Structure 1
């Protein structure tokens, strides 16, 4: 499982929740596959998904990875992590995940992970996130 899909959680993502106060967030992007990427400094979103969800562009930035450095758009979004029952408001760097035939549409890096404990079972691919 580690080789095939890596540590994965499902998230909901969007610009604005349509739920009533006290209810779980109702964001337009539902059950999006997000990879927990301990090698990534920041959090990323597939550019096509960001465009589909009409996420606002907040700035641009220089990012680096296996392909070198390049300028990327920075999007702002609400992210709901059902496993934590947390609604977050944060920035995501736009990257070309779908163009690279990746099955994940969001990468959650160390800026996300620094607030949580993660347990990962490499045999099953199961990920557990907690706040304690």
Structure 2
């Protein structure tokens, strides 16, 4: 009986280990598209105080999908596939040029729209400054 129980427990542990391998951590680095030459190397020309104005831009335009802390958990984001990016995680992996480019041009194949022409460059840089404050 003990031998049978040991075999069942070992098999169960093996099964649980095998099934758990597909989960991915939210902080895992993901391959990102390279920044186009038109945007590469750009850095935020605004001071750190731009994040205050950026919070207003974010709240009015981004929060519904990305959520108040940018974790991709906004009410509209729940229905999207793929889900909105976790912005604090993304911001830790990329430069200002990437954030400015993605906000400006959007991302094909996702619900991330191009904000260029809707927001001014200054508003986009303000949003970048605010995203940098998210944790």
TM normalised by structure 1 equals 0.25
The structure with more radius of gyration: 2
User: 1 or 2, which has the higher strand percentage?
Assistant: 1
